[in-house]
Amino acid sequence: MKPILKVLLTAVAVVVLAKLLPGVAVSGFVSAIIVAVVIAILRFIVKPILIILTIPITILTFGLFLFVINALIIMMADYFIDGFAVSNFWIALLFSILLSIFQSILFSFLKEDKKS
């Protein structure tokens, strides 16, 4: 149940960011759900490969290159999904940073209460 809620909350964040950022467009909530699923899949499969391939530059930039990897994942999602568009790399970078912040805030509401 929790992964489905996470996908739906990510879709809400995608819709909100598409309204706020001028270079991001999503055609509807169904497209936003597809974007959330594709981003999750790309983060699961592609991101570890990119991290391993870019270890030297990631170390050299003290981990800031991970923002670039996240932006590349957003650009890949733009390539694969017709109802989602990102105008350029810098907008994708800003979108990925804001999406991570929104996800952190929204996912904090899903934490389970630990009963002792």
The per-residue pLDDT for 1 is: 75
The per-residue pLDDT for 7 is: 93
- Rounding to the nearest 10 degrees, give the CA dihedral for residues 46, 13, 97, 101: -110
The per-residue pLDDT for 2 is: 86
**Share in percent of the chain as helix, strand, coil (round to 5):** 75, 5, 20
The per-residue pLDDT for 109 is: 85
Which parts of the chain sit beneath pLDDT 70? 112-116
Instruction: Give residue 89's identity as a one-letter amino acid code.
Output: F
